[in-house]
Amino acid sequence: MELAAVFDFADGSGIRSKNPVKRLALADSAAIAELSVEELMGAYVGGDPAAFDLLYRKISPQLLGYLIRLTRHRERAEDLLQVTFSKVHRARASYLPGAPVLPWVMAIARRSFYDELRAKKSRREELSHDGSLPEPKPAEEPVPADVSDALERALDALPDTYREAIQLTKITGLSMVEAASVLGTTPTAMKLRVHRGYRALRETLEKYQRDV
């Protein structure tokens, strides 16, 4: 679909099809699927709230999934989702038109997560609502019998660089190039990280099998 046919940037009104039928069709899921996130981001930067809605519908599931995997906590992931979109909104002027949106947004989300983590580390201890200290984690959990559970646990045990590489490329579904730009590295380094991560996963799973 031609960008010019859908967007009218000249008056800053964002999405405005010259064809009224097409304009109505923009709310359809089929029409949403036709528009790329880059086109929607362009319209959002152009000042169209409807474009934000479509953009949100397109990228939020992947983004929330990624954040849930990062935080391992639903509520925190939702908080970070809100923080990420708020930052995207504030930084939309720095978005390069046509540049891939998903790695840009993912990088903002990842950075927000690490900022939050850093801020938490500087706090001494968090108390629960009744004022007591949180329960310490058990030292050794039993080996999971299910393959997917074992795989998840093995993934959690990986070093951060390998885990993030696998999460972004294999679970979130980014390409090597996109994932590399999120992590600020090269696609070759990403391939290497995934390869080494898989090797470490194999070793851990073999150890689990022996233990079982």
Partner 1 sequence: MSEQDRQYDELFSRLGTQNARVKPSPEREAQIRKECTASLTPIAPLKRWQRVASCCALGLLVMSGLAALTRGDGVHQLTRSTLYGAAAWALVLLSVLLVGFGPQGSRAALFRIGAALSVPLAFLAYLGVSQSAWTPLVEWIGHPIHCANAFRCGVMALGLGAISASGVMLVWRRTDPFNPGWSGALAGVVGGMTGALSVGLVCPDGEAWHLWLGHGVGVVMLVLIGAWLGRRVLSP
Residues that bind partner 1 (CB under 8 A): 9, 12-14, 44-49, 52-53, 56, 60-62, 64-66, 68-69, 74, 78, 81-82, 85-99, 104, 107-108, 111, 115, 147-148, 151-152, 166, 170-173, 180-182, 184-186, 198, 201-202
What is the three-class DSSP state of 15? strand
* Amino acid occupying residue 56: Y
- Tell me how far apart the alpha carbons of residues 112 and 155 are, in angstroms, rounded to a whole number: 22
Backbone angles phi, psi at 7, to 5 degrees: -105, 145
The least CB distance from residue 130 to partner 1, in Å, is: 25
Other residues' Cβ atoms within 10 Å of the Cβ of residue 47: 14
The least CB distance from residue 96 to partner 1, in Å, is: 5
Q: Which is nearer to partner 1, 17 or 60 (CB)?
A: 60
Q: Which is nearer to partner 1, 21 or 119 (CB)?
A: 119
* Amino acid occupying residue 127: L
Q: Which is nearer to partner 1, 26 or 182 (CB)?
A: 182
Find the length of the chain: 212
Strand partners, 74: none
Residues 6 or more apart in contact with residue 180 via CB below 8 angstroms = 186, 187, 189, 190
The least CB distance from residue 127 to partner 1, in Å, is: 25
The least CB distance from residue 132 to partner 1, in Å, is: 28
- Tell me how far apart the alpha carbons of residues 197 and 199 are, in angstroms, rounded to a whole number: 5
Q: Which is nearer to partner 1, 31 or 187 (CB)?
A: 187
The least CB distance from residue 97 to partner 1, in Å, is: 6
The single residue listed with the structure tokens 């994932």 is 179
Q: Which is nearer to partner 1, 121 or 130 (CB)?
A: 121
